[in-house]
Amino acid sequence: MTISYKDAGVDKEAGYRQVELIKNIVKRTHTKDVLTNIGGFAGLFKLDTNSYKEPVLVSGTDGVGTKVKIAFMMDKHNTIGEDCVAMCVNDILCQGAKPLFFLDYIATGKLIPEKMADIVEGIANGCIKGECALIGGETAEMPGLYKAHEYDLAGFCVGIVDKERIIDGSNITKGDIIIGLPSSGVHSNGYSLVRKVVFEKNNMTIDEFIPELGTTIGEELLKPTRIYTKTVRALVENFNVKGMAHITGGGFYENIPRIIPEGLTACIHTDRIDTPEIFKLMQKWGNIHIEEMYSTFNMGIGMVVIVSKEEAEEILNLLEEQGEEGVLLGEIEKGQEKIVLW
C-alpha cells in the first residue's frame, strides 16, 4: 500500500486552490514598484533611492499573539490579518520610516483555502491602510503541530527613511510635549490576561452582549488594531517629530521609556485620556490594579508622539483637521525615572 503526502495530512491541492483565491486580493495592494506577481520564489520591489540622500531600510516583524483565539471562537477570520499588519507597520513608523512592503506567514493544522483567503483579505486591507504592498507570503500546513481548526500568523514589514531623518528620541529635551493618538480598543496585546478575566474568571460566552459596549464581547475584542500610517506620515513630513512610541505589549511603562533619554521623565496625565469602556470593564471584572492595566494595555492610546512645545499647537490643529483627536498627555521633565503616570 502506497502512502501519499495527503495521507500524512498535507493537501497540496488545497494549497493550489488557496493561491488562486488570493491572487486578486493581493493584487489590490500592489504599487508600481512591485515587480512580481504572487507565486514566485521571492517578491521583488523596486527601491526609489533618488528621493533620499542616504536611504536606510527599516524593518519590523510581529504577530498578533493569542488574539487569534478570539478569531477561532468567533469563526471570523477576515480582520485578524489587519492586526498583523498594524503590529509591524506601526513599529517602523516610530523610526520615521515610510512603509514599502509586507510579507506574511500563516501556519495551520489543516489548510482550508477559504479560511486562508479570509485571513489574507484582512492582511491586504491592512496593507492598503498601511500604504504598503503585500508582495509575498507563506502558508504552511502542519498537522500534528496545530489542531485542524487552528492557525498562527506573523508578518514582516520593510520601510525606508533618510538617515538624517531617523527618529530615535535622542534629541528629546525638557519641556517637549507628549501627544497621544487614540486606539481603537484593545488592539493586539494582553489577550492572555483578557481571556483569563473574561472567559475563565467570569465565564462569559463569546457572543454575550455587553450593554456598556453596545456589542458582544467577541466583536469588541476582535476589533482590528489601528494603523497610523496616514496620520504619522503627515506629522513626520511637516514637523520635527522627536520621538514616537507604539503602545503595544508592556503598555505605557515599557514602551514610552524606550525613547526617553537618560535624565529625563515622561510625565503623563492619565485623566486626560478618554479610556474606552472595555478597559474599565476589564479592570472591574478582573479586579486588576491600575498600574497593571497601564503595564499591559494601551488604555486608549495606541501611539505616542513627542514634539517641541513650539510646534505642539500647530500639530494638534493639523490632527484636528484630519479628523484625529490628538490628546495632550503631558510634558518631558528632568528626572531619573523614564516615565511617571499621574
pTM to 2 decimals?
0.94
Q: Are residues 160 and 297 located together in one domain of the fold? A: no
Question: CB-based contacts of 132: which residues, under 8 Å, 6+ apart?
Answer: 29, 85, 89, 99, 100, 101, 102, 157, 159, 229
Q: For the chain, what is the mean pLDDT?
A: 93
pLDDT tens sequence across 140-179: 999 999 999 999 999 999 999 999 999 999 999 999 999 9
CB of 79 closer than 8 Å to CB of 185? no
CB of 11 closer than 8 Å to CB of 111? yes
Q: Are residues 141 and 253 located together in one domain of the fold? A: no
Residue from 324, 315, 305, 182 nearest 255 by CA: 305
Residue from 62, 233, 82 nearest 160 by CA: 233
In a domain, residue 221? The reply is yes
State the residue range of the domain holding 69.
12-165
* Residues written for the chain: 342
pLDDT tens sequence across 253-275: 999 999 999 999 999 999 999 99
Angle ∠(139,184,315) on CA atoms, nearest 5: 115
Q: Tell me the CATH number at 138.
A: 3.30.1330.10
CB of 215 closer than 8 Å to CB of 209? yes
Residues of the chain scoring pLDDT < 50: none
Q: What is the pLDDT of residue 7?
A: 66
Q: Are residues 30 and 154 located together in one domain of the fold? A: yes
Q: Are residues 127 and 192 located together in one domain of the fold? A: no
CA gap 43, 162 in Å, rounded: 23
> Could you please report the per-residue DSSP string of 182-235?
E-SSSTTS-HHHHHIIIIIIS---TT-EETTTTEEHHHHHTPPPP--HHHHHHH
